[in-house]
Amino acid sequence: MIISQIGNYSLIFGLILSFFLIIYLFLNFYGFIKINLNNIYSILFLQLFFVFVSFFGLVYSFVISDFSNSTVYNNSHTTKPLFYKISGTWGNHEGSMLLWLLVLTLFIFLFFIYSKKQPKNYRLTTLVFQEIIITGFFLFVLLTSNPFNHIFPIPIEGLGLNPILQDPALAIHPPILYLGYVGSSIIFSASLAALVSKNINIYWAQHIKKWIFLTWILLTFGILLGSIWAYYELGWGGFWFWDPVENVSLMPWFTLTALLHSISVLEKRSILKSWTIILSIATFSLSMSGTFLVRSGILNSVHTFANDPGRGVFILIFLFFLILISIIIFFFFQTDERTSTNKIYWMSKETSILINNWFMTFFLSVVLIGTTYPILLEVLTNEKISVGPPFYQNLLIPFLIPFLFFMAVGPNLKWFKSDYKKINFNKIFLLFFICFVMFFLVKKLDVKNLFVIILIISSLYLFTSSFIDLIFKRKNFSQNIAHFGFSVLILSIIFNGILSKEISANIKIGDEINFDGNLIKFKKIDVADKENYKSIIANFEIKDQKNKIILLKPEIRIYNQPNILTSEADIKSNLYEDKFIVFSILNREEIFNVRYQVKRFMIWIWISTFLIIFGGLIRLIKIK
């Protein structure tokens, strides 16, 4: 109980420091005092220290199973392994918001340290905007989501953590994703500060580019971890299902990807200033909107673990305030870019980046409409609908095709203006060669959808083009490897969708199933008692046409607290395919539902995403 009190008072002290910093900075701007930057460092460190003490106090409460704390009581249990006691700290609404606050204070402290070469007024203005955001989250945590509320009398045992959250990938997925979300707040604050202080120039672009790439890398990695978790933990057997909360993380990724391309134009030619600021505002707004949709309980998803409209209203009002302020600042301080030197030629790298941004904006619009339309329809008509994969596929695939062609051509164009006479026409012959190869490939794959055929052609063209650039053009290695990774990702997704097969059947122990030339035999059931659950392990023998045998052992876990049953898939992976099996108990005695899938090129979806992240890391390291 003492630890909880220390954590609660630490949050209050942190909030007081936020108010003090904002007042202190405004007194400086109006000339009443002169700020000593060493004092700013000390206050920021002290604020970070208080939030860290609060977060550590919550972690410690989980470790010792302090059930006088309502957050611990609702999300932990004495039999839970230590690793999941710790990860349970942020596996709930209150703890995750405290983690968000910790990352916010950490990022502004690091920003202030690594921006010493930037103008003082710009740094202090960034600090004002960031502290406004931090203050809002302090109030949100203390007023609506306090992780240190007490229970009396003290319960003997806790309610436990949702079993699907008891997984190593999900233990690190939320922190990484929050790092990406919170990184967008630094970009947002720095962009508004640069606008107000009239500091939007090439040097600012070079400075903020580091934070854009860092945020993009973290957000991409966070999305990847969530996708891997959903693949093997939920028993879905897929990497993406257009779940609303998946979409919420994808939307700021689109704007952030557009931003990291447009900032290169600003760095090179000092143009697209207003567009860069708009993307910065949009990225943060979408990150906050995602927080609102998830925390309010509006979205119905397996990822959602908060259902409190009061919290959602708080975030919505706060988000509305931040967006309104940013729009007012944008229109009041926006820069004039209408000069003769800012002309953009149609055959140039700038144009290709603009086209990239247009596509990203379109993809964002589709996902945004698909995610929010069911919510709006239910509010207006009380009619419930769901928007599934066909909606996104039918709208995205036709526009993904030209996007891939532009990705293949754009990086080879020059800044300012490219001479069409010097264009390498070998890549045009490469396209004809791919079309020729595709003629035979279509017959083998038995693909009849015209859009899919053209999509494969465009993907193969980007693949071969980026591979050639990767081998022979070392100048833009980070860009080439990221684009190559993206081409592998698209191809892997296409072939995974075309070639994957599955069967679902109700069988008993000892039964056999013939499927796609394989013999699946249900051999036996084993039972094991674990630390906080009972495991029912099925033993399956898979014999292929060459009489090669593999054993798969999916599980059904019956957790003691909460008393929930989960299905755990067993997966055997190689470079060509995943053999994926999951089973569940039916109401009828001794009969089980078995779902067996052969997922082609599954591992390449993960490898390609790591290649994309690796390209971003190389570029981040090279930024001075």
| pLDDT value of position 303 | 47
Phi, psi of 325 (to 5 degrees): -60, -45
Query: Helix, strand or coil for residue 177?
Result: helix
Strands 565-568 and 555-559 turn out to be antiparallel
DSSP string, 347-384: SSHHHHHHHHHHHHHHHHHHHHHHHHHHHHHHHHH---
Which residues does the chain have with pLDDT short of 70?
1, 234-237, 292, 294-310, 335-342, 417-426, 587-589, 624
pLDDT at 328: 93
The pTM score is 0.92
Q: Cα(472)–Cα(323) distance, rounded to whole angstroms?
A: 45
d(CA 459, CA 493): 11
Does residue 562 have a cis peptide bond before it, meaning omega lies within 30 degrees of 0? yes
CB 191 within 8 A of CB 149: no
Residue with tokens 């209150």: 94
Tell me how far apart the alpha carbons of residues 308 and 383 are, in angstroms, rounded to a whole number: 21
Determine which helix (DSSP H) or strand (DSSP E) holds 26, and give its type and residue range.
Answer: helix 2-29
pLDDT the model gives residue 108: 95
**Are 4 and 57 a contacting pair, CB within 8 Å?**
yes
Asked whether the beta carbons of 1 and 150 are under 8 A apart, the reply is yes
What is residue 341's predicted lDDT score, i.e. its pLDDT? 56
pLDDT at 299: 59
Backbone angles phi, psi at 551, to 5 degrees: -110, 130
Q: What is the model's pLDDT at position 338?
A: 56
Q: Quote the tokens at residue 447.
A: 């693909």
Alpha carbon 443 to chain centroid, angstroms: 37
- The predicted-structure confidence for 474-506, as pLDDT tens digits, reads as follows 778 899 999 999 999 999 999 998 889 999 899
- Per the structure block, which two tokens stand in for 48? 């970070």
Q: What is the pLDDT of residue 309?
A: 65
Three-class SS of 221-289: HHHHHHHHHHHHHCCCCCCCCCCHHHHHHHHHHHHHHHHHHHHHHHHHHCCCHHHHHHHHHHHHHHHHH
Q: Residue 231: CB partners within 8 Å, gap ≥ 6? A: 237, 238, 239, 602
**DSSP sequence for 394-436:** HHHHHHHHHHHHHHHHGGGSPSS---GGGS-THHHHHHHHHHH
CB-based contacts of 379, cutoff 8 Å, min separation 6: none
Distance CA(290)–CA(103), nearest Å, equals 17
Distance CA 439, CA 372 (A): 40
Is the bond into 153 cis (omega within 30 degrees of 0)? yes
Residue 278: the pLDDT is 95
Q: How far is CA 572 from CA 48, 441, 569, 575, 597, in A?
A: 44, 27, 10, 11, 11
pLDDT given for residue 302 in this prediction: 46
Q: Any residues with CB less than 8 A from the CB of 148 and at least 6 apart, and which?
A: 4, 5, 7, 8, 11, 54, 57, 58, 69, 71
Which pLDDT tens digit goes with each residue over 28-67?
888 788 888 888 999 999 999 999 999 999 999 999 999 9
